[in-house]
A and B are shown apart, each in its own frame.
Chain A
């Protein structure tokens, strides 16, 4: 899978199209327990996550709130320090014209600065955390100032160009973002992220707060920008329908781990993991005729705590087909490649069509009876 590498210290020459490679990423937070004995506990927000983002493509991380998507996004840029793992990011050397992979975890300050110039992050409401007195112009120009790009005049011209690129007007530059609608604020955030001509943009729930008509505008914009600029996206969302629309590859997360990962059509047409099935069955489809015959998998219990995740498979407390006591409570399933590029971490993967007329069957197939671990 991985192209041959030549080591040169922290920097590795590369000739494949991987822009970001994350291996075994782990992030624990120390949290204090309520109550009398306030000893510190580890919250396993991200527990050994691996994935690759390819040039010009979109990898989506999807899962319910608290599964570790945002922590993964932040850890990738070391906005939170990873507890363990390896994060390689492709940088292009302008002089030699060579591409090489930089290990973000080991990178020193200068290297990290170079990485962050090429990898930007956009949040759900990118304007919310900024000083309300800033004008649109100063918001979009800020990364240019931070990296000392251009003269004042050149920066002003670049801001104008960026605003037009994201569908705003150059005349918006002098206004304050407070007066803008949600969709326009997201456009401002995207313009700012584009300022330094990055190769990768991490989008953390970029359309989750928007109304559908505006969501469609922003999704179309992101698609156009990807086509025009060859951008790679790490797209984070909880909405599977949006994920299906935007992705090249999809990774489904549950309690800090990737439980299933595949190319987009493969994942949506032939999901394997019971959690993926459950998530998909829970997403409503705006068509009463289809909703009329769809069967839903109702998960009655709640997501367990990331401080004390269940033994064995993390999903087993909610899984409709878990064998407990048995393999599901005793042995943690590894991510296994079931079809080319299609990985799932489950002792009883379910290779049944889920949108077909017949309801999804959750019986473990008779001929594939589980072998005891």
Chain B
């Protein structure tokens, strides 16, 4: 059987920030791929390299940052070697990105209608009238009430949740193949978050758009993604299909994270807590980057880096003891 060609292939990507204090190895040798229509979750705590991964794919890394190694192939083309002009054509049209703060995508001095029609006229060569129709339809798709009226409103006239839905509408105007959503609901209340995630799920299903959902919230990923990868200190330390990753996390960090979240459906007593905090990315620990915080660490972990996730199998884990830690439905030994 012939496997479908992946939409996105990232191979050994390294994005560093070259600062006076040394190189910040924000993304340090990650490999993964995404298929057409796939919904992939990228989870990790702040500073783990999620946003830098997204910015690398979008060609939005500015000095002192630089992609110092690796490949990013989108439909077979290596994005790293493209010129800024070629990249501009891909951004927005084939790959769209939305951020935590919707105002990064909106101009406060123009109505959302004029911003949307502008995009359609530039990227899709539409007449003003065609653009207006498409824009209003898209606003309706993202459940903005009375879209004909709201079309003439300015961004500040929308609530936070609605504004994020407008941004999603703008991102969808050119029917991108891949949507990268970087913490799209982090600034929203839970009820707005539920609206936005419900909407994104519906749109991804209807349009077949692949979505990379970046978030620190393990709950949001659980309801949206088929596959998940966990980042820690610039590396992907575990990836897998969502069901098995949550049910049987292999990496001690993943297990620790899952057990440290209070859950709405449980009356937990003491939470498991991972000791210490994330390491410096300038001088990360030798060996496994997680060893100083890991209950399982041995001499091997201190001296040798575990085999990284290669992005070839659905389920992979970058721990020397992957596969040996299995004890389903049990906490990490504290």
Chain A positions within 8 Å of B, measured between CB atoms, are 64-65, 181, 183, 211-217, 219-220, 223, 238-242, 244-246, 264-265, 268, 278-291, 294, 296-303, 355
Whether the Cβ atoms of B46 and A211 lie closer than 8 Å is: yes
Residues of A close to B52: CB separation below 8 A: none
Q: B166 an interface residue at 8 Å Cβ cutoff? A: no
- Give every chain B residue within 8 A of A220 (Cβ-Cβ): 270-271, 273
- The reply to whether A296 and B273 form a contact with Cβ atoms under 8 Å apart is no
* A296 and B198 contact, CB distance less than 8 A: yes
B residues neighboring A (CB under 8 Å)? 45-46, 143, 145, 159, 161-162, 189-191, 193-195, 197-198, 216-223, 242-243, 246-247, 256-258, 260-268, 270-275, 277
Contact assessment for B270 and A265 in the assembled complex, using a CB-CB cutoff below 8 Å: no
Which of chain B's residues have a CB closer than 8 A to the CB of A290? 222, 265
Bound CA span A298–B191, Å: 7
For the complex formed, measure the closest distance between the CB of B232 and the CB atoms of chain A, giving whole angstroms. 10
State the CA gap A215–B257 with chains docked (Å): 11
Which residues on the B side are within 8 Å of A211 (C-beta)?
45-46, 216
Complex contact B271–A219 (CB within 8 A): yes
Instruction: Find out whether the CB atom of A64 lies under 8 angstroms from the CB atom of B191.
Output: yes
How far is B142's CA from A300's CA once the two chains are assembled, in angstroms? 11
| A302 x B161 contact (CB < 8 A) | yes
Task: Please name all residues of chain B whose beta carbon is closer than 8 Å to the beta carbon of A212 when the two chains form the complex.
Answer: 45, 216, 218, 257, 260-261
A213-B257, A283-B219, A284-B217 are contacts. A298–B277 as well, Cβ < 8 Å? no
Contact at A287–B46, with CB atoms within 8 Å?
no
The 8 closest A-B pairs by CB, nearest first: A284-B219, A216-B260, A245-B262, A291-B223, A282-B194, A216-B273, A286-B218, A211-B45
Question: Which residues of chain B are within 8 angstroms of A268 by Cβ–Cβ distance?
Answer: 264, 267
A280 and B264 contact, CB distance less than 8 A: yes
B264→A300 contact, CB < 8 A: no
Decide if B222 touches A288 in the complex (CB within 8 Å): yes
Report Cα–Cα, A216/B261, bound state, in Å: 7
The reply to whether A298 and B198 form a contact with Cβ atoms under 8 Å apart is yes
If over half of A's interface residues share one DSSP class (helix, strand or loop), that class is named, otherwise mixed; here it is: helix
Q: Bound state CA distance, A289 and B246, in angstroms?
A: 9
Are A291 and B262 in touch, CB under 8 angstroms? Answer: no
Instruction: Pull 30 A–B residue pairs with CB atoms less than 8 Å apart, ordered by A.
Output: A65-B189, A213-B256, A213-B257, A216-B273, A217-B275, A238-B190, A239-B262, A241-B219, A244-B266, A246-B262, A268-B267, A278-B191, A279-B190, A280-B264, A282-B190, A282-B191, A285-B223, A285-B263, A285-B264, A286-B218, A286-B246, A286-B263, A287-B222, A289-B243, A289-B246, A296-B194, A296-B198, A297-B194, A300-B195, A302-B162
Q: Which residues of B contact A282 (CB under 8 A)?
A: 190-191, 193-194
Contacts of A302 in B (CB 8 A): 159, 161-162
B223: A residues at CB distance < 8 A: 284-285, 288, 291, 294
Q: How far is the CB of B129 from chain A (nearest CB, A)?
A: 29
Interface centre among A214, A280, A289, A297 (most CB of B within 10 A): A214
**Residues of B close to A297: CB separation below 8 A:** 194
Q: Are A355 and B277 in contact (CB under 8 A)?
A: no
Q: Tell me the complex Cα distance, A296–B264, Å.
A: 14
The CB with the most chain A CB atoms within 10 A, among B258, B268, B277, is that of B277
Using Cβ atoms and an 8 Å threshold, which residues of chain A touch B277? 181, 183, 213-214
- Please name all residues of chain A whose beta carbon is closer than 8 Å to the beta carbon of B217 when the two chains form the complex: 284
Complex-state Cα separation, A220 to B272, whole angstroms: 9
Bound-state CA distance A286–B216 (Å) is 12
* Smallest beta-carbon distance B151→chain A, Å: 18
Tell me whether A281 and B261 are in contact (CB under 8 A): no
A265 pairs with B161, CB closer than 8 A: no
Give Cα distance in the complex from A154 to B262, angstroms: 39
Say whether B190 contacts A285, CB under 8 Å: no
What residues of chain A lie closer than 8 Å to B219, measured between beta carbons?
241, 283-286, 291
Kindly list chain A residues whose C-beta atoms are within 8 Å of the C-beta of B246. Answer: 286-289
Give chain A nearest CB distance to B100 CB in angstroms: 14
Q: Are B195 and A298 in contact (CB under 8 A)?
A: yes
Give the complex CA separation of A183 and B145 in angstroms: 41
> Of all chain A residues, which has the CB nearest B270?
A220
A288 interface neighbour in B194, B242, B274, Cβ under 8 Å: B242
Q: Which residues of B contact A283 (CB under 8 A)?
A: 190, 219, 264
Complex Cα distance A6/B93, Å? 74
- Name which residue of chain B comes closest to A284, CB basis: B219
Q: Which residues does chain B contribute within 8 Å of A288, judged by CB atoms?
A: 222-223, 242-243, 246
Most B Cβ at <10 Å: residue of A282, A303, A355: A282
Given contacts A286-B261, A302-B161, contact A216 B190 (CB under 8 A): no
Q: When chains A and B are docked, how far (Å) is the Cα of A223 from the Cα of B269?
A: 9
A64 to B161, CA, bound (A): 12
CA distance in complex: A252, B242 (Å) = 32
User: Of B191, B243, B258, B265, which is in contact with the most chain A CB atoms at under 10 Å from its CB?
Assistant: B191
Q: How far is the CB of A266 from chain B (nearest CB, A)?
A: 12
Please measure, in the bound complex, the distance between the C-alpha atom of A54 and the C-alpha atom of B131, giving whole angstroms: 61
**How far apart are A222's CB and chain B's nearest CB, in angstroms?**
11
Residue of B nearest to A294 (CB): B223
Taking the closest CB of chain A, its distance from the CB of B325, in whole angstroms, is 18
**Residue from A213, A238, A244, A287 within 8 A of B189 (CB atoms):** A238
